[in-house]
């Protein structure tokens, strides 16, 4: 390891320490080390982004980030205002995100497969000044914008407050498509100067938000600092994965996820490497084709996708020889899936645990230190503890609530002081996961502490699917739980009580699935529908979900 090195972007990284010690100068703006320093350090001609439209060098990236920041200013966005991004994985995502940060505007990337009602709720919550979107998502975005003209004012309340908006309501002033219209981002960038000095900020100042869903399904905005992306890129990207300038990284997880944001953007940019972008929904086929065509050295996926890729690999033999390591997160990786992937490809999958609030991975297996079926051990630089039922630290083998402490955790949930107080307890973040630690120090996932489930790496609220099912004219009651599929990966299944006089049938089951798909995000639908006469409930009326899981054929249960 090298000793301390002063970065002209206003920070010091001491890699002689383990973990690396980070120091930030007054006025630190995180866009400087991620974007500006590469040209100064002679990497301007290196490829930063590889995508369907061609390569983008670091010099081109820096110039376009500056043009974008200037364009946003000219469009009327002011420091501290929020800019929602419903943008596919493409170079413009980079330009918008970093251009906003350089100009002291707060970028807020959103899940691109949400519906108009979801976007409308986030508009209400964030009081955003602008929403920028890829044309593919125009229908849902415009549907959100054409909602009620007057909405409730959004009070700026949080444990640690980001700069509030002074606008009285949440209809954004600016709705800007990335391309296609007479007034679009690309046109505005073409007219903007290619030089922009970063606005002085602080390492601990609010920088960007990421929305996540809580146990009620209501979106929550996690407010992240300028330093957070440096911490995850240094501690996990460099410290665990060993990302270097000659690495080419491909992430199937999209940029709007905290997981994808690190994999596909901050890890390669921090090291001066190359990011491979796929601007369509990832499938087993197109991700394997992308690996073969672009020859990445690191690949980031989720268990559901690894399982689908294994099915393709039964009859195809794409060239995966460029890969040195694969990474998984988003939901626990079953040990059997790990073994099958290793046997088929010869490649190791490093499974780990992260969260939107922690920004990226803080528990992980690592090269040369893998225990299948576990989340590995704490990433150096993070502290992890398990609290037992009495509030004290759990002994090895004892289950409890997992908490993490580290310098990448969010300041607060925007506009939600109660949730902030429950989840962010001093320096400790309560993850909402139940874990135990074995005698060797490896951490084992036991499930969520509430009824939320992850589907394809995305949090999914059962109550949201249940509410949609009960909107159907033939449904009286519904309950949704996560059931492991053949690979041990949770998928939603529904138990439905029909209205009197309605007979169950396969056709009705298919109709209910279609009913959910038509109004919910793509992943929020039951994979199977079970018709029952009544739902098991407690004396107080709560559905006993564990009894529903027990009704599954033992051959299908894990």
Q: Which of 448, 470, 497 is the last residue of a domain?
A: 448
Mean pLDDT of 270-294: 97
Is residue 71 domain-shared with residue 150, that is, in the same domain? yes
- Half-sphere exposure of residue 402, counting CA atoms within 13 Å on the CB side? 29
SS (H, E, C) 368-396: CECCCCCCCEECCCCEEEEECCCCCECCC
Report pLDDT for 149.
47
Residue 97, pLDDT above cutoff 90: yes
- For the chain, percent of residues with pLDDT exceeding 90: 70
pTM summary value: 0.83
Other CB atoms closer than 10 Å to residue 141's CB: what's the count? Answer: 26
**pLDDT of 330 above 60:** yes
- Whether cis (ω within 30° of 0) applies to the bond prior to 352 is no
* Residues 373 and 521 both lie in one domain: no
> 467 or 22: whose pLDDT is higher?
22
Say how far apart CA 263 and CA 275 lie, in whole Å: 8
What does the alpha-carbon distance between residue 359 and residue 365 come to, in Å, rounded to a whole number?
A: 18
Mean pLDDT, range 231-255, rounded to an integer:
97
Which residues, other chains included, contact 315 with Cβ-Cβ below 8 Å and sequence gap of 6+? none
Q: pLDDT band for position 558 (50/70/90)?
A: very low
What is the C-alpha end-to-end distance of the chain, expressed in Å? Answer: 44
Q: Which two tokens stand for residue 389?
A: 């039922």
Average pLDDT, the chain: 89
Which of 448, 469, 490 terminates a domain? The answer is 448
Residue 538 pLDDT > 70: no
How many domains are contained in the chain?
A: 3
Place of tokens 């099958």: 340
Pairing of strands 528-531, 490-498: parallel
For residue 437, the tally of other CB atoms under 10 A from its CB is 24
Same domain, yes or no: 220 and 235: no
User: The domain containing residue 131 runs over which residues?
Assistant: 60-225
Q: pLDDT digits over 48-73, tens only? A: 999 999 999 999 999 999 999 999 99
Among 262-271, 429-438, 442-451, 539-548, which stretch is predicted with the lowest mean pLDDT?
539-548
CB 473 within 8 A of CB 488: no
pLDDT score of 459: 66
- pLDDT range class, residue 336, cuts 50, 70, 90: confident
Find all residues with CB under 8 Å of 431, minimum gap 6, and list them.
353, 355, 357, 358, 401, 402, 403, 404
What are the pLDDT digits (tens) for 157-198?
343 444 444 444 467 889 999 998 778 999 999 999 999 999
Q: Give residue 545's pLDDT.
A: 73
Report the C-alpha gap between 539 and 444 in whole angstroms: 33
Contacts of 70 (CB under 8 A, 6+ apart): 99, 103, 192, 193, 196
Task: Assign 482 a pLDDT band (cuts: 50, 70, 90).
Answer: confident
In a shared domain, residues 96 and 168: yes
Q: What is the mean pLDDT of residues 419-433?
A: 93
Tell me, what's the pLDDT at 131? Answer: 97
**pLDDT number for residue 195:** 96
What pLDDT score does 158 carry?
Answer: 40
- Sequence-distant (≥ 6) Cβ neighbours of residue 360 within 8 angstroms: 232, 236, 258, 259, 261, 262, 354, 408
Are residues 507 and 438 located together in one domain of the fold? Answer: no
Q: Is residue 537 part of a domain?
A: yes
Same domain? 476 vs 536: yes
Choose the weakest-confidence range: 101-115, 263-277, 337-351, 456-470.
456-470
Same domain as 301, residue 180: no
Compute the distance between CA of residue 292 and CA of residue 274 in angstroms, rounded to an integer: 16
Q: Does residue 192 fall inside a structural domain?
A: yes
> At which of 399, 427, 448 does a domain end?
448
Percent of the residues in the chain that have a pLDDT greater than 70, as a whole number: 89
**Looking at residue 452, what is its pLDDT?**
64
Asked, for residue 19, whether it belongs to a domain, the answer is no
Q: Are 278 and 295 within one domain?
A: yes
User: Is the distance from CB of 111 to CB of 521 less than 8 angstroms?
Assistant: yes
Highest mean pLDDT among 4-13, 397-406, 458-467: 397-406
* Opening angle at CA 228, ends 239 and 280, nearest 5: 85
Query: Contact 207/226 with Cβ under 8 angstroms?
Result: yes
Domain co-membership, 146 together with 278: no
CATH number of the structural domain spanning residue 532: 3.30.300.30
Question: Are 251 and 219 contained in the same domain?
Answer: no
Q: Is residue 84 within 8 Å of 172, Cβ to Cβ?
A: yes
Q: What is the pLDDT of residue 554?
A: 52
Q: What does the block give as tokens for 248?
A: 């080419």
Is there a single domain that holds both residue 239 and residue 218?
no
Indicate whether 146 pLDDT > 90: no
Q: 493 with 364, same domain?
A: no
How large is the C-alpha radius of gyration of the chain?
23
Render pLDDT for 483-534 as a digit per residue (tens, 0 to 9): 888 888 888 999 998 988 999 999 999 999 999 999 888 888 999 999 999 8
pLDDT band at 333 (very low <50, low <70, confident <90, very high): confident
Q: Rounded mean pLDDT of 549-554?
A: 70
């Amino acid at each position: 390891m090298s000793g301390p090195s002063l970065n002209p972007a206003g920070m010091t990284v001491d890699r002689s320490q383990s973990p690396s010690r980070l120091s930030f100068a007054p006025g630190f703006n995180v866009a400087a080390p991620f974007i500006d320093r590469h040209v100064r350090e002679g990497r301007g001609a290196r490829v930063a982004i590889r995508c369907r439209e061609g390569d983008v060098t670091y010099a081109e990236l820096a110039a376009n980030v500056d043009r974008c920041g200037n364009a946003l200013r000219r469009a009327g966005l002011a420091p501290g205002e929020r800019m929602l991004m419903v943008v596919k994985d493409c170079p413009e995502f980079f330009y918008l995100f970093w251009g906003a940060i350089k100009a002291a505007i707060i970028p807020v990337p959103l899940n691109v497969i949400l519906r108009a009602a979801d976007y409308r709720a986030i508009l209400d919550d964030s009081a955003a000044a602008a929403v920028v979107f890829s044309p593919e998502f125009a229908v849902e975005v415009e549907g959100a914008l054409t909602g009620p003209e007057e909405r409730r004012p959004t009070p700026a309340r949080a444990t640690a407050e980001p700069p509030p908006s002074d606008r009285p309501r949440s209809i954004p002033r600016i709705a800007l498509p990335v391309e296609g219209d007479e007034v679009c981002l690309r046109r505005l960038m073409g007219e903007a100067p290619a030089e922009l000095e970063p606005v002085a900020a602080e390492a601990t100042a609010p920088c960007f938000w990421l929305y996540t869903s809580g146990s009620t399904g209501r979106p929550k905005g996690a407010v992240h600092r300028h330093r957070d992306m440096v911490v995850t890129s240094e501690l996990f990207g460099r410290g665990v994965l060993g990302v270097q300038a000659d690495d080419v990284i491909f992430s199937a997880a999209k940029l709007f996820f905290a997981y994808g944001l690190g994999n596909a953007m901050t890890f390669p940019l921090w090291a001066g490497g190359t990011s491979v972008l796929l601007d369509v929904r990832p499938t087993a086929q197109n991700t394997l084709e992308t690996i073969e065509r672009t020859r990445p050295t690191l690949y980031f996926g989720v268990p559901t996708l690894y399982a689908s890729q294994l099915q393709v690999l039964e009859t195809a033999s794409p060239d995966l020889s460029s890969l040195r390591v694969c990474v998984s997160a988003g939901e626990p990786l079953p040990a059997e899936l790990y073994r099958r992937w290793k046997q088929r490809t010869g490649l190791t999958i490093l499974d780990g645990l992260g969260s939107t609030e922690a920004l990226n991975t803080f528990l992980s297996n690592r090269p040369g230190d893998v225990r299948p079926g576990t989340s590995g051990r704490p990433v150096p630089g993070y502290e992890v503890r398990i609290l037992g039922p009495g509030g004290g630290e759990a002994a090895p083998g004892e289950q409890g609530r997992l908490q993490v402490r580290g310098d990448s955790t969010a300041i607060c949930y925007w506009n939600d002081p109660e949730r902030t107080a429950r989840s962010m307890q001093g320096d400790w973040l309560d993850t909402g996961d139940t874990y135990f630690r074995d005698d060797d120090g490896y951490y084992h996932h036991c499930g969520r502490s509430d009824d939320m489930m992850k589907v394809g790496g995305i949090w999914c609220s059962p109550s949201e699917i249940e509410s949609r099912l009960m909107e159907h004219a033939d449904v009286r009651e519904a309950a949704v739980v996560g059931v492991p599929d053949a690979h041990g990966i949770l998928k939603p299944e529904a138990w439905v009580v029909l209205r009197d006089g309605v007979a169950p049938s396969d056709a009705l089951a298919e109709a209910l699935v279609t009913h959910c798909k038509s109004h919910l995000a793509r992943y929020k639908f039951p994979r199977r529908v079970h018709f029952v006469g009544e739902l098991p409930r407690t004396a107080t009326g709560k559905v006993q979900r564990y009894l529903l899981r027990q009704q599954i054929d033992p051959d299908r249960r894990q």
